[in-house]
A = this chain, B = another copy of it.
Amino acid sequence: MTCIEQFTREIRQRGYRMTPQRLAVLQILHQGGHFSPGEVYEQARHAVPGVTEATVYRTLEFLEERQMVVSARARDGRLLYELAGHTHHHLLCRACGRMVQIDHALIDEVLRQLEATSGFRLDATHLTFSGLCPECQRKEDKP
């Protein structure tokens, strides 16, 4: 059973409906990566002519409430969505925008320590640290 079929089954089991709009949004997110509502809309309008921004916003919200997608706020204010269930962390270069994945063993160890000392239960399935990548450091140091 494909990933999308599983989502369909899960949505129906919970008493909701699988619509072309929801399917399209799930397929878009299933490509992998992060998408803002605007980006999802841009793609969705090709798959489902006539779909509106309002529907995309409502669909993403719906899917997030049911834990099928997660969102994170980007530095520029955009809310980025991706399929849930996949813990990973990034480094983001603030100059060129390059993103690299980082080993999450390193992070997870610290998160566990933080949880132990604070009593908090942390979300942190998707952290982003911003900085300057090696290349942009060179450009900035010798302008």
Contact = CB atoms under 8 A, between A and B. Distances in A.
Chain A interface, >50% SS class: mixed
Contacts of A120: 91, 93, 100, 129, 131-134
Given A106-B110, A106-B114, A129 B122 contact: yes
A126 to B, nearest CB: 11
Interface stretch (A37-45, A48-56, A59-67, A74-82): A74-82
A127 B106 CA distance: 16
B106 A107 contact: no
Contacts of A107: 110
A109 B110 CA distance: 9
Interface residues on A, range: 35 or more
Interface in A62-103: 73-77, 79, 91, 93-94, 100, 102-103
A73 B72 CA distance: 11
Given A77-B79, A123-B131, 20 more contacts: A73-B77, A91-B120, A91-B122, A93-B120, A100-B118, A102-B117, A106-B113, A107-B110, A111-B129, A115-B131, A119-B133, A119-B134, A120-B129, A120-B132, A121-B132, A122-B130, A123-B130, A124-B130, A124-B131, A127-B129
